[in-house]
Amino acid sequence: MSAQLSPDAWQHRAACRGPQSAVFFPPPQFERKRDRLEREARAKAICEVCPVKRECLEHSLQIEEPHGVWGGLNEVERKALLATPA
């Protein structure tokens, strides 16, 4: 029997796991632009030290995740990256 990791095993090593995960997604109520920028900056700071940042970003681009900060990029930044010709 061989030990194979599931394709999403990287998620278990992500720095965003735990109580701080709320900063990666907008709140259900209205969020002022300044508050959004501050929240995203906190999320991106966590991404900067994450050991699976690349895997996270690749996953979000592959599934075209429409919400939140993934791999250090927000929705608008990921959309622009997807729109860039390869």
| pLDDT for 66 | 93
Query: Using 50, 70 and 90 to split pLDDT, how confident is the model at 5?
Result: low
Query: Using 50, 70 and 90 to split pLDDT, how confident is the model at 2?
Result: very low
Q: Which residues of 50-71 are buried (b: 16+ CB within 10 A; e: fewer)?
A: bebbebbbebbbeeebeebbbb
Confidence (pTM)? 0.85
16-65 pLDDT, tens digit each: 998 889 999 999 999 999 999 999 999 999 999 999 999 999 999 999 99
